[in-house]
Structure 1
Amino acid sequence: MPATRNLFIASLAMAAGTAAAQPQFAWVGTYNPNGEGVYRFQVDTKTGALGNKTLVNQLPNAAQLTVSEDGKTLYVASEAEKGVVAALRVGEDGNLTELNQVASGGAGPVYLSLTPGGRHLLVANYVSGTIAVLPVKQDGSLGEATDTKQDEGQPGAAKPEAAVEGSFAASDHNGPHAHMISADPSGKFVFSTDLGLDRIYQYRFDDATGRLTPNDPPFIAASSKGAGPRHFVFTPDGDGLWLINEESSTLTHYRLDAGKGTLTEGKTISALPKNYRGTSFAAGLVLSHDGKQLYVANRLHNSIAQFTVSANGTLTHQDDIWTRGDYPRTLTLDSSGSYLYAMNQRSDNITRFSVAKPDGKLSFIDDYVAVGSPSQLVFSPVK
């Protein structure tokens, strides 16, 4: 009798554990025509494998994504001439229900980020060179922009002076092109890059009103002429950031004054191998969860560069690994930091790499995921 009772209790515990376990989803945004919208995948949290691909939203050029901290709302930008951002409710089964759509505050939205606390969604519009602040309502839906800013100024140099020999990596230095926007970890300051003007803009941010105020100075110049500042990541302590320059394929470290919210330029290094010559466009970058490894995607060279981060923010080049695809646009780490994914836009696939502990070395996992023109991948939180 006791044995039967113990077996019954164990069965109940197993059933409860099964009931409590929630699937983790990954969302991939794509470009038309190869990609048809947003795809949902179910994640094997033990292996990092992406399975059960399902097209769940067909917003045109749904290339930019971010998900709320609680995983209940997915935000998707349509990278179109009349940019829109959709707020989508995420069901327990991963199905999406549209809450609403609002204007992105410009043309060609290329980046979305939520402020700390999730009360506002920040948008960078590449084609129009504008940024916008969209309020997030209680139910996760979006309100009309509380603020927009138009980048203005003389275009940057057509040829990147810091690029490697033989590089013809020059694009869109013909006017303002906002490429990324993000609040610092404190939420008091917002920074945005403009590739066309070779500038990093600095703002003070009022989370109560959703308004941006230009800081003093309102912007700083890129680390070199024609560099094309693109994306950045903050240090774990929030005392600085690393910024990737698209045309020059360089990485620049900036120190952040936590009181003033202003950046001071530090050291710049190449994101490419020492002996590389020719054209390449630097793209996405991602910092490991412990802040000790920085990974950069190099398009045309089609590699992921790994850098070790020292205590003072100095980067030491460790390795370059082939993505096994073409034109890696962005990189994503899973929630455990054990797997890194490359969105290979031109080869229409996603490749996966295991991340060794503690040195962060990448190893390719021979498991290609077919997706037309992938742009970005985000994970729902593990529950």
Structure 2
Amino acid sequence: MPNAGDTTIAYVSNAESNDIHILRLDPADGGLTLIDKVTLPGIDKPGSSTPMALSPDRRFLYVSVRSEPFTVVGFAIDPTSGRLTHTANGQLADGMAYIATDRSGRFLLGASYVGHKVTVNPIAPPGTVQPPSQVLSTAPNAHAILADPANRYVLSTSLGGDVVNRFHFDATTGTLTATMPPTIGVKAKAGPRHLVFDPQGTHVYLINELDASIDVFAYDTASGQLTALQTLSALPPGFSGKPWAADIRITPDGRFIYASERTSSTLAAFRVDPATAMLSLIGHTPTQAQPRGFAIDPAGRYLLAAGQVSHGLSCYRIDAGSGRLTELGQYQVGRNPNWVTIITLP
């Protein structure tokens, strides 16, 4: 848990302007101050999104660009100010919709939506991504990839296949091997997109893009098996149109879950039952236009949501008792902001 005097930094990646805005978050009032803006070096044309991945030790930030040549840009994070210094660009096997390091920070995992594949890239010190060591085909439209907290298994969504892929993960070699069975299905045409683990690593929350539903799973840490517990909607009352859900996040204490929906430009809030891990709706909050990415600060007090169409960022206070969101301010960032990462530096 962050302490008084710590520095909290938010990174917002902007696909169209090919840059990262670096903002300091005031822990007292949630105010944001722009401290730097970094252009992605060696990138000549924008991609559709710029997923980011943070190393577990918070020393490095990796930014994937979804345009050819498919590249991941590495940055060292200044331990005092949070400013970024370019380390190196690395080669990716395809345009990645999602990247994440494994729990050791030695490997970069990627999910390619257009390439229908997941990949592993070794990371050599200091924070330099090496060429891919493994490329595996998946069901259509791989959309997210995440190692479990024990670093023993990796889960990856396939939106077009309506499945969550499961892999054994060798943390020594960085090798993925399909489990048996290799997938678990969700409702047809739901479109599994992003997922999060709870702090205990015993439950998984999955947001489905095409119907804006959320699936709750019990997670067996020994076998990597998923057991469905609940499905509920993230759509606001009176919704009309085509659902287009995007991201899902959980507070560090595991008490609240939030989900973004782009057609209605809303954030849905849910309370997590501490006994069953199942969700109950708190309510919906209007936010920036087309909110693809958002993040919660490590203290669990603030939520930052970016709008791809508004090119803006909203800061919300999270009520510690109810989980409800109160907007504190809006800020302009770069063009097509789509990913937000927040860290605290002691």
Whether the TM-score (by the shorter chain) exceeds 0.5 is yes
Greater per-residue strand proportion = 2
Q: Indicate the structure whose relative CO is greater, using CA pairs within 8 Å and at least 6 residues apart.
A: 2
> Which amino acid is 1:42 matched to?
R
- Output the amino acid matched with 1:250: S
Give 1:83 shift.
Answer: 1.9
Give the letter aligned to residue 328 of structure 2: I
Alignment match, 1:39: 21
Q: Report the alpha carbon displacement of residue 192 of structure 1 after superposing the two structures with TM.
A: 0.3
User: Which residue does 2:99 correspond to in 1?
Assistant: 112
| Paired position in structure 1 for 2:249 | 286
Amino acid of the structure 2 residue aligned with 1:105 = A
1:354 to 313, 317, 327: 317
Matched to 1:27, the amino acid is Y
Larger helix proportion of the pair: 1
1:254 alignment counterpart:
217
Corresponding residue number in structure 2 for 1:26: 10
* Counterpart for residue 91 of structure 2: 103
Q: CA deviation at 1:365?
A: 1.3
Distance 2:102 2:204 in 1: 16
Instruction: Please tell me whether the aligned partners of residues 273 and 320 of structure 1 are also in contact (alpha carbons under 8 angstroms).
Output: yes
- Residues 26-78 of structure 1 deviation map (CA, whole Å, 9 limit, x = unaligned): 2111121xx33222223323222221253212344461112223322111101
> 1:128 maps to what in 2?
115
Within 2, Cα distance between the matches of 1:127 and 1:73? 27
CA contact 1:146–1:209 (8 Å) conserved in 2? no
Amino acid paired to 1:216: M
* C-alpha distance in structure 1 between counterparts of 2:179 and 2:98, whole Å: 21
- Aligned-residue Cα RMSD (Å) equals 1.9
Shift of 1:262: 1.7
Whether the 8 Å CA contact 1:36–1:55 is kept in 2: the answer is no
Contact 2:36 2:83 (8 Å CA) reproduced: no
Q: In the alignment, which of 189, 207, 231 is matched to residue 153 of structure 2?
A: 189
Amino acid at match of 2:331: Y
Unaligned runs of at least 5 residues, structure 1 = 1-19, 153-175
Note the C-alpha offset of 1:367: 3.3
Is 1:178 the counterpart of 2:142? The answer is: yes
The answer on whether the counterparts of 2:76 and 2:87 sit within 8 Å (CA) in structure 1 is yes
Change (3 A) 1:56 1:347: same
**Matches of 1:24 and 1:240, distance apart in 2:** 28
Structure 1 stretch 309-318 or stretch 46-55: which is displaced more? Answer: 46-55
> Counterpart amino acid of 2:170?
D
2:229/2:278 contact within 8 Å kept: no
| Distance (whole Å) between structure 2 residues aligned to residue 37 and residue 197 of structure 1 | 33
Trace 1:219-234 onto structure 2 (pairs within 5 A). 219-222=183-186, 224-234=187-197
Aligned to 2:163: 199
Q: Is the 8 A contact 1:25 1:40 kept in 2?
A: yes
Superimposed CA distance per residue, residues 267-317 of structure 1 (whole angstroms, 9 cap, x where no aligned partner): 211111344333221111110111111111111111111111112121111
Distance in 2, matches of 1:145 and 1:116, equals: 18
Is contact 1:308-1:316 (8 Å) kept? yes
Relative distance call for 1:96 and 1:331 in structure 2 (3 A) is closer
Pair 1:54 & 2:36 matched: yes
Identical pairs, percent: 30
Check conservation: 1:179, 1:193, Cα contact below 8 A. Answer: yes
Separation in 2 of the partners of 1:24 and 1:274?
35
Amino acid at match of 2:31: A
**Structure 2: tracts of 5 or more residues without a match:** none
Q: What residue number does 2:226 align with?
A: 263
Relative to 1, partners in 2 of residues 1:374 and 1:117: Cα closer, same or farther, differing over 3 Å?
same
Amino acid at match of 1:140: G
- What's the CA shift for 1:326? 0.7
Structure 2 distance, partners of 1:258, 1:380, is: 27
| TM-score normalised by length of structure 2 | 0.91
Greater C-alpha radius of gyration: 1
* Counterpart for residue 169 of structure 1: none
Q: Which moved more, 1:275-284 or 1:297-306?
A: 275-284
Cα deviation for residue 22 of structure 1 reads 6.8
Alpha-carbon distance between aligned partners in 1 of 2:89 and 2:183, rounded to the nearest angstrom: 31
**CA distance 1:261–1:28, shift in 2 (3 Å):** same
Q: Is 2:272–2:279's contact at 8 Å kept on the other side of the alignment?
A: yes
- Distance in 2 separating the partners of 1:87 and 1:245: 30
Instruction: Output one character per residue of 1:207-252: Cα deviation in whole Å (capped at 9) or x when no partner.
Output: 0011000000111222x11111000111222112010000011001
Do the aligned partners of residues 278 and 368 (structure 1) sit closer, same or farther apart at CA in structure 2, a change above 3 Å counting?
Answer: same
Segment drifting more, 279-288 vs 200-209: 279-288
Residue of structure 1 aligned with 2:203, choices 240, 252, 269: 240
> How much does 1:81 deviate?
4.0
What number of residue pairs does the alignment pair up? 336
SS where residue 226 of structure 2 aligns? strand
